[in-house]
């Protein structure tokens, strides 16, 4: 393989074409539809349903895309774009591109190295990675693989405040520079594909590594189990039990099985992970437990954005969870202009959901976002080619964005804002 060290679009384009000349293709396809198709082939049907699926009729997934189609870039010519600066600053840190990795849980469904592979790929490019609360690897392990490169932590607010505090403290210790509270998943959405397959990875003990590695959660596991949870023993449930024991940290299958801890972990997780009683006033608790900037993920209404400012949060992530929670919801880009107006540049706005290339990044920035996050595309790269696959997906997005910016006549992110987009 021909390697160039530059992270510029031109360098990456050259590498792709030189490799092609030498008879080598990149590990992951550049076309998003081919990327999806190959990822589907690389995954089990249950994993594909979990990763690719959305809620209900999946109209929110479609709305995310159509919102991007609704806005058009109007390129400007003859503006000397030989020097280009794609950097953005957020909370006193500068990142190479307005691109971040959204938190995606249960990545062990996709690749055994899961979050660690993603962390390494992100670190190679200094692209910030938002660790998922539902990760397959404990945050400490991923942080250790990332050196000093940027990472944030995404929190699901469980029924145990002690656990919330513990997660946040661990995140601070492992170098996370912001806390993202996801608001839209106080219950799991009606995910038709997963329901059809009657499959939830958490029941096999997958995606609960932040919990099983947590001292507070380990204590919570000793509390009596919920007597309302009944299980029927079948060959299938025994296979699930084996997976559950294997997913639990530590060695020695029989010892783990005899300890009963893997089963207790799953039961405890199921009973505490969601908290539909959460309200704005709970945010004060988080403020008492961290000095890090707090961002709210899942904001779609300008009044919620205003309220977030009133409650003193440091940032907003416009998100509908990639269409996995409320079917028939507004596309994220469609929500952006009104929220940008309400926020009036007081705090940074990030956006995710259906971002599938450099043009989408451009449009989000033109409408007032500071940066965007991607979810499924990097999970697809991970499925196809592990760490290298994630790395390539990131390079593709970064290169596509830089070229779109320049070819539209902009030299920097600030100029994209001035340029705007047309409806
Ligand atoms: C997610 N998302 C998510 N969000 C979050 O706050 N915590 C999480 O653990 C997860 N887990 C998760 C798993 C899977 C399989 C997907 C696809 C998504 C939502 C994610 O952060 C992001 O909002 C969307 O993925 C963005 O949309 P796209 O880029 O996937 O269209």
Predicted local confidence at residue 227, as pLDDT? 67
**What's the CA-to-centroid distance between 319 and ligand 1, angstroms?**
9
Q: Does the CB atom of residue 322 touch ligand 1 within 6 A?
A: yes
- Mean pLDDT is lowest, of 60-74, 116-130, 236-250, 402-416, for 236-250
Predicted local confidence at residue 268, as pLDDT? 96
Asked if pLDDT for residue 356 goes beyond 90, the answer is yes
Predicted local confidence at residue 127, as pLDDT? 98
Predicted local confidence at residue 353, as pLDDT? 98
Mutate to test the pocket of ligand 1, among 100, 103, 193, 332 (most ligand atoms within 8 A of CB): 103
Predicted local confidence at residue 205, as pLDDT? 97
Give the pLDDT confidence of 386-414 residue by residue, as tens digits: 999 999 999 999 999 999 999 999 999 99
Predicted local confidence at residue 7, as pLDDT? 84
**What's the CA-to-centroid distance between 105 and ligand 1, angstroms?**
7
Asked if pLDDT for residue 24 goes beyond 70, the answer is yes
Mean pLDDT of 207-229: 90
Residue of minimum CA distance from atom 13 in ligand 1: 104
* Ligand 1 atom nearest to CA at 61: 31
Q: Does the CB atom of residue 205 touch ligand 1 within 6 A?
A: no
φ, ψ of residue 248 in degrees (nearest 5): -75, 140
Asked if pLDDT for residue 14 goes beyond 50, the answer is yes
φ, ψ of residue 152 in degrees (nearest 5): -120, 170
- Catalytic hit among 70, 111, 236, 321: 321
Top pLDDT among 396 and 224 is at 396
Give the pLDDT confidence of 152-174 residue by residue, as tens digits: 999 999 999 999 999 999 999 99
Q: Does the CB atom of residue 54 touch ligand 1 within 6 A?
A: no
Asked if pLDDT for residue 194 goes beyond 70, the answer is yes
Q: Among residues of the chain, what percentage have pLDDT more than 90?
A: 94
Predicted local confidence at residue 114, as pLDDT? 98
For 185, which DSSP code?
A: -
Strand, coil or helix: 120: helix
Predicted local confidence at residue 230, as pLDDT? 63
Strand, coil or helix: 169: helix
Contact in structure between 87 and 99 (CB atoms under 8 Å): no
**What's the CA-to-centroid distance between 6 and ligand 1, angstroms?**
30
- Mean pLDDT is lowest, of 210-219, 231-240, 338-347, 385-394, for 231-240
Separation between Cα atoms, residue 364 and residue 337, nearest integer Å: 9
The CA-to-CA distance between both ends of the chain, in Å, stands at 43
Number of C-beta neighbours around residue 106 at 10 A:
24
Give the pLDDT confidence of 36-88 residue by residue, as tens digits: 999 999 999 999 999 999 999 999 999 999 999 999 999 999 999 999 999 99
- Is 396 one of the annotated active-site residues of the chain? no
Mean pLDDT of 1-5: 43
Contact in structure between 408 and 75 (CB atoms under 8 Å): yes
Separation between Cα atoms, residue 309 and residue 164, nearest integer Å: 22
Mean pLDDT of 261-282: 96
Give the pLDDT confidence of 142-154 residue by residue, as tens digits: 999 999 999 999 9
Asked if pLDDT for residue 4 goes beyond 60, the answer is no
Predicted local confidence at residue 3, as pLDDT? 41
Break the chain down into helix, strand, coil percent, rounded to 5. 50, 10, 40
Predicted local confidence at residue 5, as pLDDT? 44
**What's the CA-to-centroid distance between 186 and ligand 1, angstroms?**
14
Per-residue pLDDT band at 228 (split at 50, 70, 90): low
Q: What is the mean pLDDT of the chain?
A: 96
Separation between Cα atoms, residue 358 and residue 366, nearest integer Å: 12
């Amino acid at each position: 393989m021909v390697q160039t060290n530059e992270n510029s679009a031109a360098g990456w384009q050259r590498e792709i074409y030189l490799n092609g000349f030498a008879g080598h293709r990149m590990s992951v396809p550049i076309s998003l539809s081919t990327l999806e198709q190959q990822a589907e082939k690389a995954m089990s049907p249950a994993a594909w349903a979990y990763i690719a699926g959305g809620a209900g009729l999946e109209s929110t997934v479609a709305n995310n895309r159509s919102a991007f189609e609704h806005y058009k870039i109007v390129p400007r010519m003859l503006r000397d774009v030989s020097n280009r600066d794609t950097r953005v600053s957020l909370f006193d840190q500068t990142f190479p591109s307005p691109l971040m990795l959204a938190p995606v849980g249960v990545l062990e469904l996709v690749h055994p190295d899961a979050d660690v592979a993603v962390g390494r790929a992100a670190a190679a490019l200094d692209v910030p990675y938002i660790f998922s609360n539902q990760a397959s690897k404990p945050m400490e392990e991923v942080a250790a693989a990332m050196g000093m490169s940027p990472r944030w932590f995404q929190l699901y607010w469980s029924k145990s405040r002690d656990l919330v505090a513990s997660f946040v403290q661990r995140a601070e210790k492992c170098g996370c520079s912001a806390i993202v509270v996801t608001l839209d998943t106080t219950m799991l959405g009606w995910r038709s594909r997963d329901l059809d397959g009657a499959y939830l990875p958490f029941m096999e003990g997958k995606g609960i590594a932040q919990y099983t590695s947590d001292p507070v959660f380990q204590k919570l596991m000793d509390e009596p189990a919920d007597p309302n949870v009944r299980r029927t023993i079948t060959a299938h449930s025994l296979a699930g039990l084996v997976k559950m024991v294997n997913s639990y940290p530590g060695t020695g299958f029989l010892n783990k099985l005899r300890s009963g801890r893997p089963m207790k972990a799953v039961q405890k997780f199921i009973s505490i992970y969601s908290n539909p009683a959460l309200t704005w006033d709970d945010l004060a608790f988080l403020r008492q437990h961290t000095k890090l900037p707090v961002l709210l993920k899942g904001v779609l209404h300008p009044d919620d954005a205003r309220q977030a400012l009133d409650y003193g949060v440091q940032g907003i992530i416009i998100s509908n969870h990639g269409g996995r929670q409320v079917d028939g919801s507004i596309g994220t880009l469609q929500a952006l202009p009104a929220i940008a107006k309400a926020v009036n540049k007081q705090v940074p706005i990030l956006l995710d959901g259906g971002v599938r290339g450099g043009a989408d990044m451009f449009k989000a920035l033109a409408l007032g976002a500071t940066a965007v996050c991607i979810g499924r595309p990097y999970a697809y790269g991970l499925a196809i080619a592990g760490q290298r696959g994630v790395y390539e997906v990131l390079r593709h997005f970064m290169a596509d964005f830089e070229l779109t910016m320049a070819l539209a006549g902009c030299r920097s992110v600030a100029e994209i804002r001035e340029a705007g987009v047309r409806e």
